[in-house]
Amino acid sequence: MTGQQQAGRIAVVTGAARGIGFATAQRLAADGVHVVLTDVDGHVEEAAAAISRDQGGRAEARRLDVRDEAACEALIAGLPRVDVMVNNAGIFDVKRTEDLTPEDFRRMYDINLVGMFVLARAAARRMSASGRIVNIASRAYLGAVDYAHYVASKAAVVGLTRALALELAPRGILVNAVAPGVIDTPILAAWSDEARARLASVQPVGRLGRPEDIANMVAFLASPTTDFITGQVILVDGGRSLGGLTG
């Protein structure tokens, strides 16, 4: 995608202070999109400033907690236009089901799913025929042990993506999900170096994913020239979902 094809488009990326969201914002800005980086974390200001410096001012920051419905609505309503909505903000933690509480589930759902719905709804109202919504799911939606609340929230992201895709396709707005495998970002802080090395060794491609691996796919799905793909869940996981390896 060249800057010329994306010039004038505006994207909103949630959870963009670091990790996958930051890499996605970087990539979209490099493609010529003006990117609004949002995050509950104040580091989003520095993140946007860094991109803006490198990419001719094509980035700005907004503090946003995706659980705040009114703030989500106001952010979207206050932009001159919205062409791309990347719903990336998310949380993860490890807890066996016997220790999980309904409150753990609700917190996970509020951030990983309900915030996504609110922003997708608000963005869709503003989008024209080349609108694109990209939701970040996880390979975990296929099933995983020790974090049922996360798995369930990401399976719900897939369901939401498919439902929105059907509703919005007649308007030319395309909605897809990217399901990352294990990507080396701060979300993995709970894992020791040893656990990370073991994780890398069981990936068919022999390494953990990089934020850029996901950003590249998001940028592809966000482009107006990608106009015959909707309602899909694209696994970007180094082949991990294929099975065949132990561990």
Ligand X SMILES: NC(=O)c1ccc[n+]([C@@H]2O[C@H](COP(=O)([O-])OP(=O)(O)OC[C@H]3O[C@@H](n4cnc5c(N)ncnc54)[C@H](O)[C@@H]3O)[C@@H](O)[C@H]2O)c1
Task: Report, in Å, the least distance between residue 67 CB and ligand X.
Answer: 5
Minimum CB distance to ligand X smaller for 52 or for 88: 88
User: According to the binding rule CB under 6 A, does residue 221 interact with ligand X?
Assistant: no
Whether the CB-CB separation of 91 and 147 falls below 8 Å is answered with no
Q: Which of 32, 90, 224, 238 binds ligand X (CB under 6 A)?
A: 90
Q: Is 238 in the site for ligand X (CB under 6 A)?
A: no
Say how many Å lie between the first and final Cα of the chain, rounded.
Answer: 38
Using CB under 6 A as the binding rule, the residues of this chain from 32 to 51 that contact ligand X are: 39-41
Cα–Cα dist 10/29, whole Å: 10
DSSP 8-state symbol, 36: E
Q: Rounded to an integer, what distance in angstroms lies between the CA atom of residue 30 and that of residue 82?
A: 18
- Measured from the CB atom, the residue of 31 and 39 that comes closer to ligand X is 39
147 given a catalytic annotation: no
Which residue in 181, 144, 140 sits closest to 158, CA to CA?
A: 140
Residue closer to ligand X, measured from CB, 48 or 187: 187
Nearer to ligand X among residue 24 and residue 224 (C-beta): 24
Among 49, 50, 71, 91, binds ligand X (CB under 6 A): 91
CB of 226 to ligand X, least distance (A): 20
Q: Could you say which DSSP state residue 183 is in?
A: B
Q: Is 183 in the site for ligand X (CB under 6 A)?
A: yes
Conformation bin of residue 244: beta by default, left when phi > 0, alpha when psi is -120 to 50: left
Q: Which is nearer to ligand X, 30 or 134 (CB)?
A: 134
Give the binding range for ligand X (CB under 6 A) out of 83-91, 98-106, 167-175, 216-224. 83-91
- Tell me the chain's radius of gyration from C-alpha atoms: 17
* Contact call for residue 224 and ligand X (CB under 6 A): no
104 interacts with ligand X by CB under 6 A: no
Q: Would strands 10-13 and 84-87 be described as parallel, antiparallel, or unpaired?
A: parallel
Nearby residues of 151 by Cβ (< 8 Å), 6 or more positions away: 140, 141, 143, 144
CA dihedral angle for residue 101, residue 102, residue 107, residue 110, rounded to 10 degrees: 160
| Least distance between ligand X and beta carbon 8 (Å) | 26
Tell me which residues are annotated as active site. 150
Contacting residues toward ligand X, per CB under 6 A: 14-15, 17-21, 39-41, 64-67, 88-92, 111, 136, 138, 180, 182-183, 185-188
